[in-house]
Amino acid sequence: MAEFTMDLNDDQKQVRDWIHGFAADVIRPAAAEWDEREETPWPVIQEAAKVGIYSLDFYAQQFFDPTGLGIPMAMEELFWGDAGIALSIVGTGLAAIGVVANGTEEQIGTWIPQMYGTPDDVKVAAFCSSEPDAGSDVGAMRTRAVYDRATDEWVLNGTKTWATNGGIANVHIVVAVVDPELGTKGHASFIVPPGTRGLSQGQKFKKHGIRASHTAEVVLEDVRIPGSCLLGGKEKLDERLARAHERAKAGGGERVKNAAMATFEASRPAVGAMAVGTARAAYEVALDYAKTRTQFGRPIIDNQGVAFQLADMRTSIDAARLLVWRASWMAVAGKPFTSAEGSMSKLFASETAKKVTAQAVQILGGNGFTREYPVERMHRDSAIYTIFEGTSEIQRLVIARTLSGMPIR
């Protein structure tokens, strides 16, 4: 087990600088265009695939970094480039995490390569959990999966929403209810292969921020998939459901994680790192602007009102990064989140991104309110971090429940 350290080793520094160079040279110059177009930046994703950033091997290498810092380091640099384009590059990763967290070795080996495609023919994947009436309240999920024993197929019906890459993905990972009596314990995850009949894209959302990332509804109408597409397999599912029913009859017992929550818990520090990248980008623009913008004969950074804001911005960014790194290290070291450290990292980093980008707009004044300067886009983008993969309110609920041991509502 690697000791926790704030010093990156030489290999990590080399990877960080490589990703930063891609973000600076490829992502940033394209950011404004794809934000305006509100379309998936396929050419940028393909460039990322060609250099090896958009690939299974790259994410595996970062994921298995023994210090736990590979993924947060990569996320921070990519989102420093641009949040919308970066999410298009990394969005497939959430679906991949869903397979790795819940799938068999055969499923991992079969489906994850199909999520990414090849540098000459890039593909994307989608993780579909949220529904129109079931966002934070996963217990309200209505999408059903029914097993057809005669054909060894699962039949899926329902509507998913807020799905990154939804409808345009080569592979969709869908969370559905298999046993309504068990609430969230009766959920399971399914692989919907490319070209499966009955799956279609619903509404594509026109968003406030991260507009280069495709977000849409996914409609499932009598979608039939092979039994082998149940993540983890039916035997494992039947055993889990039987245990849950026994505990329910006994009046409670050990808490069982559902498939969606297992995926979110694994990804929360990574989302925190994304927020840190956006906050850092806005801070750097504001700092450079404050040094060069003159009013009343001197740079505006000479005024305490501006300088103190920049001091607070940098302090919050560094604190957020430390929380993200701690949670990431704890996860890889196998240390339990006894104080909900994963949720802490996501909460603080998300709120920091919103605050820092707003301060950056303020420091740039009227210029910050225009699309001629990137802080306007960064401020719009930052709003998503306090919403997706668990709102700030949900993070606070998780933390409070963990600390108190009480069923706080």
Q: What is the pLDDT of residues 206-230, one digit of tens each?
A: 999 999 999 999 999 999 999 999 9
Region 363-374: mean pLDDT is 98
| Averaged confidence pLDDT in the chain | 94
State the pLDDT at residue 254: 43
Q: What is the pLDDT of residues 185-201, one digit of tens each?
A: 999 999 999 999 999 99
State the pLDDT at residue 259: 55
Q: What is the pLDDT of residues 83-97, one digit of tens each?
A: 999 999 999 998 998
State the pLDDT at residue 101: 85
Please report, rounded to a whole number, the percentage of residues in the chain having pLDDT higher than 70: 96
State the pLDDT at residue 1: 63
Q: What is the pLDDT of residues 306-341, one digit of tens each?
A: 999 999 999 999 999 999 999 999 999 999 999 999
Relative orientation angle of helices 341-364 and 375-382, to the nearest 10 degrees:
150
State the pLDDT at residue 260: 57
Q: Are 15 and 74 in contact (CB under 8 A)?
A: yes
Read off the tokens for 133.
């009436």
- State the catalytic residues: 389
* CA pair distance 42, 39, nearest whole angstrom: 9
Residue 273 or 265, more confident: 273
Give the predicted TM-score (pTM) of the model.
0.93
State the pLDDT at residue 181: 93
State the pLDDT at residue 262: 52
State the pLDDT at residue 265: 62
pLDDT beyond 70 at 2: yes
State the pLDDT at residue 266: 61
State the pLDDT at residue 100: 87
Region 249-264: mean pLDDT is 58
Region 33-42: mean pLDDT is 98
Split at pLDDT 50, 70, 90, the class of 234 is: very high
